[in-house]
Structure 1
Amino acid sequence: MIKISSHEIGHMFGISHCVNANCVMNGTNHLPETDSHFARACSLCQQKLSSSIKFNNQKRLVELRNFFEKQHLNTELTRAEQDLNLLK
């Protein structure tokens, strides 16, 4: 549900389907395909989102990391932590 909601909200902010990376904005045709994608936007889609709605990327990643940790979404937690480390 998180991936589908995030994907559809991305469309609401004007982001099209992503073909550049494993990304929440990838188009999917069935649930197993959706499950294989990340619950986060790739760097390109994050840039598109940032140009659409200005936000503090570090704050956003901290909040995502905290959410993933609380929900025990360990794969996504690891990726959010990697993204945060890149910003340091």
Structure 2
Amino acid sequence: MAPSRIAQTALYQEVAERLRQRIFAHELLPGTRIDEQLLTVDYGISRTPLREALKVLAAEGLVTLRPRRGCFVTEISEQDLDEIFPL
């Protein structure tokens, strides 16, 4: 039996994971506008994988996409956290 291959992660998934970690580490603070141009330069990527990553994070509720305004880190209340992570 041949060994199974390890699937490579899509670029947008890796970008989403890095942004998720930065949000959880409070490097990107709640309510902060996400500077797409700066992130594309920092990560050395084009805007397409970044925008796909932001869509993933928006679906998770970590960021809020506002048409013609940009993307912002979602402000999460303690009550929201209790609902997300019940003790």
TM (norm. structure 1) is 0.34
- Identify which of structures 1 and 2 has the higher relative contact order when contacts are C-alpha pairs closer than 8 Å and 6+ apart: 2
Comparing both structures, which one devotes a greater share of its residues to helix?
1
More strand by share: 2
Instruction: Decide which structure has the larger Cα Rg and report it.
Output: 2
TM-score by length of 2: 0.35
